Amino acid sequence: MRIAYLDCFSGISGDMFLGALLDAGVPFALLEKTVSDLNLGATLEISRVDRSGISATKLDVIVDGEKDMPREEYWKSAPRSQPGGSEGQTRQQDLSVGTVQHAHAHEHPDHHAHSLGHGRSLSDILKIISAAPLSEAVKRTASEIFLALGAAEARIHNVDLEGIHFHEVGAVDAIVDIVCAAVGAAALGVEQFICSPLNVGGGTVACAHGVFPVPAPATLELLKGVPIYSGEVQKELVTPTGAAIVKVLAASFGPRPGMSTDAIGYGAGARELAPHANVLRISVGDTSAATEDAAAPVTEEIAILEVNLDDLNPQLIGYIVDQLFDEGALDVFTTPVQMKKNRPGTLLTVLAPTARETALRALLFRESSTLGVRVRHEQRHILPRHHEPVTTPWGEVRMKVGGVDGGVSQYAPEYEDCRRIAAEHHLPLKHVMQETLRLYLDRKNG
């Protein structure tokens, strides 16, 4: 399986993640085009820097001719009624996080933090993403990262999601960071992101409401359930944007899995923290080459979501299944069941990475007629697997190969590859699959 492993020994921020993607091979032109398509008046600047002896890629977002602009820390809530105030009395609260002491950005002028007259609501930002010429998968990822940020701030400050706003300048910077993160992650072509425990740093961070210990409130809220620790660096190392990106993208958190590495990227933080290397490292490779000889399958925890449906138009179930897969489900299946009052019904079961549980549960409530979703967590054992290309008369087909104890016990041609070839060449799908299998076995046994 193709994976990317994030070493967050120096935390993570949006610009560090983008720098690591670029250093690992994502084309800079792709991110430049993405920023141009967003039409926000921003540009990108790429450079090579040294961080404690490590050569790394530094990416800066240029907004209004300035680099290192404030990121997600410049939030503010919508006007709210003052407790005990007369009707119509309102106040505005700046939800700034880390506006002074920030490990991955320069200190910013006060007018950025306190200019409350301008801002973009979360719905405004989601509309910008929806209107951009991006793939639907990229739009979903970017939107989910923003929703994660908004939900964290809303919980901390006890306001509705629509009460959360980005500072006007910080909004552009954050949109660029998050949308480019989604585009770059997709371009990397991996099946899973896996992340190390996160070094959040230490010390304190200055917020609009006083001084807080690191991690900042929004960062800690986002990292619920994620392994974190504080190392020797007494600076904020994980920003809310970085936390939201890794929370949404990472399928699991833990030590580096067995993998063969063929690409490595280093993304630089803005500050030199010698002797500590202020970089994010990404390793891209295949788990199969390192784990084919392992004695046991890989084990991971997954979420299982189930709903019973007896009052839903069956035509909608197929649509819901497609939406669940698009939202990141590992597998979806239905089972006919007999329900109360002898009504025939459908048991809809969803297998999902634990990181996708919340989004998939929300989708079931939104798209189906259920009033409740059952959720449980279980362990699943996975055979080490990898893809081997098979050249057919009509083009290349990936063969998924799995095995244990050094042997091959499962193999099958990728359905989508065969389907595409069958459609392009007007061939029976079963013929394409059979020929691919024959060619693979001839090569294997030859």
**Which CATH number covers residue 373?**
3.30.70.1380
Boundary-marking domain end, from 351, 382, 413: 382
- Asked if 131 and 261 sit in the same domain, the reply is yes
The first and second tokens of residue 419, run together, are 């389907």
Res 133: pLDDT: 94
Res 82: pLDDT: 33
Asked if the structure places residue 46 within a domain, the reply is yes
The first and second tokens of residue 355, run together, are 């990181």
- Asked if 317 and 202 sit in the same domain, the reply is no
Output the tens digit of pLDDT for each of the chain's 446 residues: 889 999 999 999 999 999 999 999 999 999 999 999 999 989 999 999 999 999 999 999 998 777 654 333 333 333 333 333 333 332 233 333 333 233 333 333 332 323 333 467 888 899 999 999 999 999 999 999 999 988 888 888 888 877 777 665 457 888 999 999 999 999 999 989 999 999 999 998 877 667 889 998 889 999 988 899 988 889 999 999 999 999 999 988 888 888 899 999 999 998 898 889 999 999 999 986 444 444 456 678 899 999 999 999 988 999 999 999 988 899 999 999 999 888 899 999 999 988 888 889 999 999 999 999 999 999 888 777 778 888 999 989 998 887 765 567 788 999 999 999 999 999 999 999 999 999 988 887 76
| Residue 140 to residue 150: CA distance in whole angstroms | 15
Boundary-marking domain end, from 227, 262, 289: 289
- Chain CA centroid to CA 196, Å: 15
Residue in 267, 271, 264 with CA at minimum distance from that of residue 285: 264
- Asked if 146 and 280 sit in the same domain, the reply is yes
Asked if the structure places residue 405 within a domain, the reply is yes
| Residue 90 to residue 109: CA distance in whole angstroms | 27
The first and second tokens of residue 120, run together, are 């973009």
Residue in 349, 262, 345, 249 with CA at minimum distance from that of residue 303: 349
- Asked if 423 and 435 sit in the same domain, the reply is yes
* 8 A C-beta contact, residue 401 and residue 390: no
- Asked if 34 and 99 sit in the same domain, the reply is yes
- Asked if 349 and 393 sit in the same domain, the reply is no
Boundary-marking domain end, from 260, 289, 318: 289
- Asked if 246 and 336 sit in the same domain, the reply is no
The total domain count for the chain is 3
Asked if the structure places residue 344 within a domain, the reply is yes
Residue 336's alpha-carbon distances to 341, 347, 444, in angstroms, are 15, 6, 41
- Chain CA centroid to CA 396, Å: 29
Rounded (5°) CA angle 166-27-420:
100
Instruction: Provide the residue range defining the domain that includes 320.
Output: 298-382
- Beta-strand relationship, 42-51 and 54-63: antiparallel
Asked if the structure places residue 354 within a domain, the reply is yes
* 8 A C-beta contact, residue 105 and residue 205: no
Asked if the structure places residue 428 within a domain, the reply is yes
- For 133-179, write each residue's pLDDT tens digit: 999 999 999 999 999 988 888 888 888 877 777 665 457 888 999 99
| Residue 357 to residue 378: CA distance in whole angstroms | 13
Res 406: pLDDT: 58
| Residue 234 to residue 101: CA distance in whole angstroms | 10
- Asked if 61 and 75 sit in the same domain, the reply is yes
Res 274: pLDDT: 84
Residue 295: how many CA atoms within 13 Å on its side-chain side?
A: 0
- Asked if 285 and 426 sit in the same domain, the reply is no
Asked if the structure places residue 1 within a domain, the reply is no
Asked if the structure places residue 3 within a domain, the reply is no
Q: 337: which strand partners?
A: 345
Q: At what angle do helices 168-187 and 14-23 cross, to 10 degrees?
A: 30
- Asked if 221 and 272 sit in the same domain, the reply is yes
- Asked if 224 and 302 sit in the same domain, the reply is no
Full 3-state SS string of the chain = CEEEEEECECEECHHHHHHHHHHCCCCHHHHHHHHHHHCCCEEEEEEEEEECCEEEEEEEEEECCECCCCCCCCEEECCEECCCCCCCCEECCECCCCCCCCCCCCCCCHHHHHCCCCEEEHHHHHHHHHHCCCCHHHHHHHHHHHHHHHHHHHHHHCCCHHHEEEEHHHHHHHHHHHHHHHHHHHHCCCCEEEECCEECECCEEEECCEEEECCCHHHHHHCCCCCEECCCCCCECECHHHHHHHHHHEEEECCCCCCEEEEEEEEECCCCECCECCEEEEEEEEHHHHHCCCCCCEEEEEEEEEEEECCCCHHHHHHHHHHHHHCCCCEEEEEEEECHHHCEEEEEEEEEEHHHHHHHHHHHHHHCCCCCCEEEEEEEEECCEEEEEEEECCEEEEEEEECCCCCCCEEEECHHHHHHHHHHHCCCHHHHHHHHHHHHHHHHHC
In this prediction the pTM is 0.60
- Asked if 81 and 107 sit in the same domain, the reply is yes
* Amino acid identity for residue 286 in this structure: D
Asked if the structure places residue 117 within a domain, the reply is yes
